Amino acid sequence: MGERGRPHRRRPAGRPSARLLPPGALPGQGALRRPHRRHVRLRRARRLPRGHRTAGRGGACRQGRLGHGAGRTRPDDRQNRSFTITLPERSPCWQDQIIPAIKDCADAFLAAPIANLGHRGIEKAAAQVPKWLLRAGDPRQDLPQAALLMEKAGTGGALFRALYRDFLGECVQLIDDSDLRAGHKLYGEAAILWTDVATLIAKAGESGDAGYLERARVLLHDLSRIEKDAMQLLRRL
């Protein structure tokens, strides 16, 4: 019997005791809270679409090629270590897909849906870069970190341009086209200039000299023009 003559409630098997949790680990100084009924209903209502087979966290996931490409509801990619993609019986010749893929990429770059993407996004970055010293909370840390990401990660800097330059270089060996060769050359120039931009941004943060950001602005204007010219050539393939 508990306080006031009430019987103790037995804890369901497998449910951890609140006494084992350190104070502050959960709201209420270690006391367990039951999830809201609405949240429970949402969890129970979630169903995997047909074609999915997935274990718990870290399991495998099976999905057809079209379903994956359509972006339909599926288990969180981060919870799956591998995907098995079912290809059609007669796979298309990958050499025949090179030019359509390059043209699709060029179209997406030149007709980006928002101003933060494509050559317009580079122009916007050029306008914002000179303000970074004033806007950064800790310029000595934040600007070198931004430069590192620009050089080593993501699609908004030197890394993507170097990858695309190398991709176009391999395509040139398979396809004899003057526009393709010109686009490859321009992206070679862009990769070098993006590295220069990252270097200038890092120096601005380390020194506090806004002159480096002004030089980066000029290079970004050049990059916007170079990449726009390159994609216009590649779109004509």
Q: Which domain covers residue 77, as residue numbers? A: 49-91
Q: What is the pLDDT of residue 87?
A: 79
**Claim: this prediction has a pTM higher than 0.85:** no
Establish if 119 belongs to a structural domain: yes
Q: What is the pLDDT of residue 26?
A: 37
Check: CB of residue 129 under 8 Å from CB of residue 215.
no
Establish if 69 belongs to a structural domain: yes
78 with 118, same domain: the answer is: no
Angle 139-152/158-174 helices, nearest 10 degrees?
A: 10
Which residue ranges in the chain fall short of pLDDT 50?
14-46, 48, 51-58, 68-69, 72-73
Q: What is the pLDDT of residue 174?
A: 94
84 with 140, same domain: the answer is: no
Provide the domain count of the chain: 2
214 with 125, same domain: the answer is: yes
Establish if 135 belongs to a structural domain: yes
